[in-house]
Amino acid sequence: MFENEQPEVKSADKKTELVFSKEIQANWTVEGKRVDGKNFTWNMDALQDFSASKDKTQNTFAGTIIYKTKITVEDAITHLDLGNVNEGITELYVNGKKVAKRWYGRAMYPVSDVLEEGENAIEIHYTTVLSNYCLSLDIPAVNRWTNRYKNEPLTSVGLEGPIKLIKYE
């Protein structure tokens, strides 16, 4: 590990080049599994920040949000980029196969091994923080904990996208 010898041949830098990028325009079936055991289903034609919603079941949501849609792929795609995920934990499934989970950083997933030409089922599991839900509760112990956040805007939650199909070479 700590040798004075240098390698005779240096490895060449591998350059990747963006060949194709297309935003997914789809209708989404969105299932919310809230931390208190209540379940919700929403149909969305566009992804949105749940904290900006007028719907109380969305802007106070905490738990797991499952986004489902079907897309048609006509070209070899190497990656799926989820765009803005508002710092949530994301887990991607393509055609029922788990691709990977991202706890932080850019939510870009390699999909060349699972994405097929033709129709594909996309499922994204998104885990939220508890803050907006806790602010909605009327429990003295929780109120003490969240009191300093009452004058702050709600925490952004959910996938905002844009979700893109990407091909690198």
| Counted domains in the chain | 1
Among 128, 124, 127, which residue's Cα sits nearest to residue 70? 124
Residue 147 has a pLDDT of 81
Q: Domain of 132? A: 26-168
pLDDT in tens, 90-146: 999 999 999 999 999 999 999 999 999 999 999 999 999 998 999 999 888 888 888
Q: Is there a domain that residue 33 lies in?
A: yes
In angstroms, the CA 53 to CA 168 distance is 35
Domain containing 85 — which CATH number? Answer: 2.60.120.260
Q: pTM of the prediction?
A: 0.87
